[in-house]
Every structure is written in C-alpha cells, then in structure tokens.
Amino acid sequence: MAVRVIEVHESVFAEKDRIARETRHLLKAQGTFMVNLMASPGAGKTTTLLRTFNVLREEYSCGVMEADIDATVDADSMQAAGVRTIQVHTGGACAMDAVMTRDALQAFDTKDLDLLVLENVGNLVCPAEEDVGASCRVNILSVPEGDDKPLKYPLMFEVCDAVLINKIDAEAYFDFDRERAAANIRLRNPDAEIFFVSAKTGEGFDAWTDYLRGKIREWKSSAQVTGNEIT
Amino acid sequence: MAVRVIEVHESVFAEKDRIARETRHLLKAQGTFMVNLMASPGAGKTTTLLRTFNVLREEYSCGVMEADIDATVDADSMQAAGVRTIQVHTGGACAMDAVMTRDALQAFDTKDLDLLVLENVGNLVCPAEEDVGASCRVNILSVPEGDDKPLKYPLMFEVCDAVLINKIDAEAYFDFDRERAAANIRLRNPDAEIFFVSAKTGEGFDAWTDYLRGKIREWKSSAQVTGNEIT
C-alpha cells in the first residue's frame, strides 16, 4: 500500500489562532458574548445551560451550539425548551477547534444574540487545548467526579475563567470536600471564579448568573468602544 | 519563522498495530491478563479497581498501571492498598497508545502478574481509538453521567468487551434508567457484557469478578496452547 503523507505545519496553528481572533472580533462587533462551556461527560452541562437560559432569557437573546461526536439528544432538549439551537457533529474529533467553530457560526444565525454558548464535547483534555474564539471559558466539575480532578487535568482548570461545581445537591452521597476542590482549582488557577451550584435545584444560580450578567455588560460596553474596527 | 514539518505516515499506524499485537503475545506467553480500563473522569475507576483487587488478590497476583496527564493521586491510593503500581504520565496525551504501553510495561515488572490493569486517562473519546495490546477492554459508565452517554460517545461503547454501570447506590438521586442505559449500550454493541455495580457498597461485584475470573482462566488456558510461539 502506498504511504499516505499528512503534513502538519506550524502555520496551521498560526492560522487557527488567527481564525479564533477573527471570531472574537466578529462576535464583539455584533455584541454577542460567547461562552465555551467544557466538562467531563455527564457533569451536567445541558441541565446547567437550560437553567441558565431560563433565568437570563427575559433579559438577553440566547442561543446554543451543541457539539457532539454523535447524536442530537442535547440539541433536542434545548430546542424543546425554546432556545435557538444548532447541532454540530465533530466527525469523531474530541473537541471543537477554531475552524469548526467559525464554520458552525457561519451556518447559525447569531447576529442578534446577546449570549451564545458553545457546549463543547464532554472531555477534560482536548477542549482545553483549543482557542475557539470564545469570549470566556467555563468548566463544570460535578461533585460525583471528585475534588481531585484539577490535579489530574491541570490545563482545563488553568485556561478557565470560571468553574462551576455542580450537583452539590448530591454532596451527602459522595466524598467531596468543597475547600479541597477550591484549593486544587486555585493551585492551577488563582484567578478562576468558583461557583457551587445545583442545576437540579437552582442553588447557587444567583451568583453564577450575576457573574454572567457582569461579563455580558463588560463585553458589550467594550464593543461600543472598539466599534467595527479590527483591532 | 521557519515552517516545521511533521510527517504522519500510515506506517506509524501499522507500527502501532504491530506493537499492540506483540504486547498481547508477550502477555499471553507469561500468562498475564491485561485489562484496558477506560471511563470519564470521576466515573470511579480507582475505587472500582481497589475493590476488584481486594476480592481477587488472594487468588491472583495483581498489578496496575496508572495513566494520567499529571499527578499521582490514584497511584498513591493503589500503593497504599498494597497493589503493585506504576504511574505513567502521558505528557499531555489524552490516551495511552501501544508505544506508551509497551514502554510502561518494559519499566514495570509484570512477569509474575496474573491480572494487570491499565487505568487509562479519564476520557470517553481518545482512549477508544487506541489498541494498546490489552487482553480485554472495559468501560465504566457512572449513574450521575446519565444513561444517554452511549449515544454521544459511540466508539467507546463499540470497542468494549464489558461495561460496568457504577454508583448504582446513588441511583435515587439521579434520573438514570437502567433499561434505557442497557438498550443504548446494546445499540452500539450487542455483545457487551453489562454489570450494574457500586464500588462504594460492593453491590454487583460478585458477577463482575466472576466474569474476570472466567476471562483470566480462558486467557491462561489459551496461553498454554500457544506456548511461546508467535502466532
């Protein structure tokens, strides 16, 4: 069999960085705040989003891009809840990258959105390595996963602006120490905002949605300053 | 900046397959049954292993290779429990491959082991793509992750010989349907053995460890047939 040769150039990475910057600029120009939401499979990304949109939908126009290897289960839940939704299949890739995100954005009408969430593939490794062009990166760590995860998946916690510690309603069932979890996150990222929440009961959502409101406000006001010029 | 070129040839994949076959042959020749244990972060791989070894250690000589991006928390727990352990750091890679596994095996004294477990990096995507040379592949899906995971991470469930559904002790807390989970697994893999277990309470471990006993017995008896010849 003939040997197939695939060449990977550093220019590909430079190109991805350029595309991510362009996406960020485009979204800022149209006043759309995009969250890159990452987590392990089953940490509660979809449930957290449904509740978040439920709180914020009166104030902001919201949309979601559901990235999965396969299936449309999350997109179906979002659509059923009345959230503007697009499903992205990654073709087996373990994370969205800048190119896939740009392509998804081109296929999705985002112009009037204030808040757009990219629900990334469930994975604590690969998504941390990609700058997709989001305004902010958020990771969900769920109580059943254990408080040691920041030690084992350091990059994910290093790159995040905020960490939601979810499923605190099930805390009695698991050996999870909030202070130890926070200390482990701080080891990786002293600046990360940490929120203890339950997407099931709504506990802790006031602080989390207030944080998002502040970020959206900041993003929109800086957009007015930079206008449409590419900076 | 000069463009750095990395060439990826199909021969690399062929080489990995060859190394995986060699590993399998070597382990068979020495009568060591190797499980490639995969799961999401926090599904309970380490707790499941500790209990499994606890049941089987009187009958079999057991060892574990702990693969992580960083940290030694799992290896420390294993060592403390008296299990022969080696820690493998993957240098950021999201899964063990055949080359890393061979190198780890060369650094680890496995000759007299009956049961060796590779606890892979917590991830439902990348580890499914690699044949490391194990005798059998097992995936743990935990109840808090949800019963829809086989739909979203199809390859992981396709390649597994067995699936442990763990944390059934916390079932009352989560919206998890055993029959739906089993049906979703069967969609991907009609032959997978499914075990409902709680690594915390020990429920379901008799069936799981009986399954392992049968697999180890089978492996050792086929080793006696093939002897040391490379087949």
A133 touches chain B (CB under 8 A): no
Candidate from A5-14, A58-67, B19-28, B186-195 with smallest mean pLDDT: A5-14
Answer whether residue A133 shows pLDDT above 60: yes
- Identify the three-state secondary structure at position A61: coil
Residues B49-74, mean pLDDT to the nearest whole number: 93
Answer whether residue A124 shows pLDDT above 90: yes
Return the pLDDT at B91: 82
* Distance between CA atoms of residues B15 and B73, nearest Å: 32
Contact state of B124 with A123 under an 8 Å Cβ cutoff: yes
A70 touches chain B (CB under 8 A): yes
pLDDT confidence band for B3 (50 / 70 / 90): low
Contact state of A69 with B154 under an 8 Å Cβ cutoff: yes
* Distance between CA atoms of residues A143 and A146, nearest Å: 6
Residues B115-130, mean pLDDT to the nearest whole number: 95
Q: What is the pTM of this model?
A: 0.85
Residues A72-97, mean pLDDT to the nearest whole number: 90
- Residue in B with minimal Cα distance to A167: B144
Return the pLDDT at A11: 62
Answer whether residue B2 shows pLDDT above 60: no
The CA distance from B73 to the nearest CA of chain A, in Å, is 8
**Which residue in this structure is represented by tokens 């007015």?**
A224
Instruction: Tell me the per-residue pLDDT of A167-210, one tens digit each, with 9 for 90 and over.
Output: 999 999 999 999 999 999 999 999 999 999 999 999 999 999 99
Q: Which of residues 173-202 of B touch A (CB under 8 A)?
A: 173-174
* Distance between CA atoms of residues A28 and A221, nearest Å: 10
The CA distance from A193 to the nearest CA of chain B, in Å, is 22
Stretch (H or E) spanning A89: strand A84-89
Instruction: Tell me the per-residue pLDDT of B128-145, one tens digit each, with 9 for 90 and over.
Output: 999 999 999 999 999 999
Token pair in block for residue B46: 């380490």
Answer whether residue B68 shows pLDDT above 80: yes
The CA distance from B144 to the nearest CA of chain A, in Å, is 7
Contact state of A122 with B124 under an 8 Å Cβ cutoff: yes
ipTM entry: 0.78
Token pair in block for residue B44: 């309970």
Answer whether residue A78 shows pLDDT above 50: yes
Instruction: Tell me the per-residue pLDDT of A12-63, one tens digit each, with 9 for 90 and over.
Output: 678 899 999 999 999 999 999 999 999 999 999 999 999 999 999 999 999 9
User: Which among A40, A122, A152 has CB closest to B73?
Assistant: A152
Answer whether residue A113 shows pLDDT above 90: yes
Token pair in block for residue B26: 């070597």
B225 touches chain A (CB under 8 A): no
- Laid out side by side, the sheet with A193-196 consists of A84-89, A62-68, A115-119, A33-39, A136-142, A162-166, A193-196
Return the pLDDT at B70: 84
Return the pLDDT at A69: 85
State the DSSP code for A67. Answer: E
A68 touches chain B (CB under 8 A): yes
Calculate the CA B109 to chain-centre distance: 19
Answer whether residue A8 shows pLDDT above 50: no
- Identify the three-state secondary structure at position B185: helix
Token pair in block for residue B77: 């727990």
